[in-house]
Amino acid sequence: MRFIFKTSYAQDIRLAKHAGHRFWYGLLCLGLLAAPWLLPEYWLAQLTFVLIYGVVGLGLMLLAGFTGQFSLGHAAFLGVGAYTQAVLTTMGWPFALALACAALLSAAVGVVVGLPALRVKGIYLGMATLAFGFIVEEVFARWESVTAGNAGMYVPPPQVAGYAFESANAFYLLCLAITVLATLAVLNLLRAPTGRAFVAIRDSEVSAQSMGIHLARYKTLSFALSAALAGVGGALYAHKLQFISPDQFSILQSIDLLLMVVIGGLGSVHGAFLGAAFLISMPQLISLGKDWLPDAIGQAPGLQAVVYGVVLVAFVLFEPMGLYGRWLKVRTWLELFPFYRKGMFKRQKSFQKSDRLK
Amino acid sequence: MNAPSPHSDVLLSAQHLSVRFGGLLAVNDVSFDVRRGEVFTLIGPNGAGKTTVFNLISRIYQPTSGQILYHPGQGAPLVLTGQPAHRVAGLGIARTFQNIELFEHASVLHNLLIGRHTRRETGLWADMFFTPRVRAAEMRAREKAEQVIDFLDLQHYRDQLVAGLPYGVRKVVELARALCTEPQLLLLDEPSSGLNVEETDDMAFWIQDIRDELGITVLMVEHDMSLVSKVSDRVLAMNQGEVLAMGTPHAVQTDPGVAEAYLGSVDDVSSLRRSAPPAKAAA
């Protein structure tokens, strides 16, 4: 068990709290940097997808995990980012400028979607964002002069300062850089007043308001930031697939994204990436498992959806804190061995919330 | 006391407040002045409208009629009833809640830092890049929070999650969070509810310290009459949304109208008697 002896405020503010953090995250960064030379092409592509989904997951985590606003239409932001990037780079815009536009446009759309969030909560917000997702998917399909409709459109490789990121290795490194920057930005926000205001809104709106937090402004801000990150993820997604069509941004994609943050662990930045790794590796695991199953099950259509559903239900029932929560338990078990008690992570019964202010 | 005149020592003055929820008149023509540097207590039986008055001051409810004036400094008073709810904290009015509204999944220190929100010095972009200015502001915020932790003896719980704290400590954390906003007026909604005798005594000391050492005016709703008489300078008794009596704790406690509101009138009691009083009692 590690006890941190605190002697300065700077120690509390620092991102890496102790030498262990520095060592392991340094090692992770080195490993990720070396990946293009270590991994075969197929696995590198999967890792690129993990990074891309990680960025989108960061956005959704900020919204759902830290501000407590659920969005069932997040694929729409992904789509706005992807199409903006596709259209602009086809027109010959440089990568960075197109990416900024993709993020800004997604953020603007996020603000529009955030407006109902000021009035509706919980399941009703879910329905509003779900409807929004359908509308945007329909726009992608019908606005043929821009999006080429259901036929889909090709996306040229990104161009940065005259250098085309055509090889998978180069594109992977580009994604890695953007992911690291996005993660740092989110971590910075969370340790600053803005992030604390989000957490306050998640835990108690009435109390956040009485602490002087402008609910409307921060909820809208959270939607905008979340959508911007989804837009950046979408832009990278478009470059990676090199082809986009409206059905990639359907309700199923939205549910996958939500699944990702819930399974990863709501309310933790790690969760976004663990969830992304889960989402990308699951189809592989399922196809591996198919050979072991009887044909009637293994070859049945919709097997993946069933497995996802079962896994989600299992997590909600048995590990509501997600993969990251499970990891925390394993880590505590290892640290305290052999003194770990079963009830250590049991949530105490929460006290009755104020019922006069409903 | 129905026509309060704005004195220079008045911090908050409620004037003819009324609130109607549908057919229910929750607060009916209530007027009172809270003077600078006093502990002013609202008492009354359940449903008297005390918490409603609190929610009017913290702008969660809009009064049907009447207004609240706030005199934070010299100069013209501010019409509090025209301000949005999120501005109230910035104006120097902090509150606690009867049933504790803390940010459950954050540590005690984080809760206190959220209390510093109205004093934030940096914007979104600075926060995102965590500029040196943000770092310096964070240090200052932690310093302030640490002073409050020291004041209320919360050192032991600083880094614990609120979700795992006992009820009595949560009550103190909520008080600490309110103090972190550096208020001029502190609204305490039943500070002793759910506390044991010892914790209630601590709370009484703290309320006195808050008034005497920090110079913060306290407006509280409280049921525990021993606490009320120990710390209050003035007491306002309410019943069914109306003002019953106002004055020193002793004067209000001995007011016949107040006793009647709590215990019922003599007529009420006699109606409960059996029709023929027992002979022994008569003798």
Number of domains in chain B: 2
Q: Are residues B156 and B265 in the same domain?
A: no
Q: Give the C-alpha separation, B9 to B32, whole Å.
A: 13
B9 shares its domain with B67? yes
Instruction: Give yes or no: residues B14 and B61 share one domain.
Output: yes
Boundary-marking domain end, from B151, B180, B209: B180
Phi, psi of A59 (to 5 degrees): -60, -50
Same domain, B78 and B115: no
Answer yes or no: do B105 and A221 touch at CB < 8 A: no
Residue B251 lies in a domain: yes
Q: Higher confidence at residue B259 or residue A342?
A: B259
Q: Is the ipTM of this complex over 0.90?
A: no
CB A237 within 8 A of CB A178: no
CB contact under 8 A, B106 and A203: yes
Do residues B56 and B106 share a domain?
no
- Nearest-CA distance A202 → chain B (Å): 8
Considering the domain architecture, whether residues B83 and B3 belong to the same structural domain is answered as yes
DSSP letter, residue B81: G
Beta strand B10-21 with A243-244: parallel, antiparallel or unpaired? Answer: unpaired
Enumerate the H helices of chain A as residue ranges. 9-13, 19-38, 41-60, 74-90, 95-117, 122-142, 144-147, 168-190, 193-203, 205-210, 215-241, 251-264, 269-290, 295-298, 303-318, 322-336
Has residue B164 been placed in a domain? yes
Residue of B nearest to A10 (CA): B139
Do residue B86 and residue B188 come from a single domain?
yes
Same domain, yes or no: B63 and B192: yes
Q: pLDDT tens digits, residue range A296-321? A: 777 777 788 888 888 889 988 888 88
Domain carrying residue B77:
1-92+183-269
Check whether residue B229 and residue B264 sit in a common domain.
Answer: yes
Say whether residue A103 is in contact with chain B using an 8 A CB cutoff: no
Residues of A in contact with B94 (CB under 8 A): 210-211
Chain B CB within 8 Å of residue A242 CB: no
**B192 and B84, same structural domain?**
yes
A residues 283-312 closer than 8 Å to B (CB):
none
* Chain A residues touching B185 at Cβ < 8 A: none
Q: According to the model, what pLDDT value does residue A353 have?
A: 46
Which of B97, B108, B109, B158 best tests the A interface by mutation, with the highest count of A CBs <10 A? B97
Does the residue B280 lie in any domain? Answer: no
Candidate from B55, B90, B127 with C-beta closest to A192: B127
Residue B171 sits in the same domain as residue B127: yes
Q: Could you write out the DSSP letters of every residue in A8-70?
A: -HHHHH-SS-SHHHHHHHHHHHHHHHHHHHHS-HHHHHHHHHHHHHHHHHHHHIIIIIIS---
Of B119, B147, B180, which closes a domain? B180
Residue B133 placed within a domain: yes
Q: Rounded to an integer, what distance in angstroms lies between the CA atom of residue A35 and that of residue A29?
A: 10
Considering A267-276, A285-294, B158-167, the range whose residues carry the highest mean pLDDT is A267-276
Q: Judge if B174 and B190 occupy the same domain.
A: no
A:B CB pairs within 8 Å: 138
| Contact A191/B at CB under 8 A | yes
pLDDT tens, position by position, B132-179: 999 999 999 999 999 999 999 999 999 888 988 888 899 999 999 999
Which H/E stretch holds residue B16? strand B10-21
Residue B236 included in any domain: yes
Over 90: is that where the pLDDT of A161 sits? no
pLDDT band at A356 (very low <50, low <70, confident <90, very high): very low
Measure B6 CA to nearest chain A CA, in Å.
26
Q: Give residue B277's pLDDT.
A: 55
Decide if B101 and A191 are in contact by the 8 Å CB cutoff. no
Decide if pLDDT at A3 tops 80. Answer: no
User: Is A189–B127 a contact, with Cβ atoms under 8 angstroms apart?
Assistant: yes
Per residue of chain B (283 residues), what is the pLDDT tens digit?
A: 444 444 568 999 999 999 998 888 899 999 999 999 999 999 988 888 898 999 999 998 999 999 999 998 777 888 988 899 999 999 999 999 988 889 988 899 999 999 999 988 888 999 999 999 999 999 999 999 999 999 999 999 998 889 888 888 999 999 999 999 999 999 999 999 889 999 999 999 999 999 999 999 999 999 888 999 999 999 999 988 889 899 999 998 888 888 888 877 666 666 666 665 555 544 4
Touching check for A215 and chain B: CB below 8 Å?
yes
pLDDT at residue number B3: 43
In a domain, B58, yes or no: yes
- B89, A12: Cβ pair inside 8 Å? no
Task: Report the pLDDT value the prediction gives residue A347, as an integer from 0 to 100.
Answer: 58
Distance from CA of B151 to the nearest CA of A (A): 18
Contact A353 B101 (CB under 8 A): yes
- A255 pairs with which residues across the strands? none
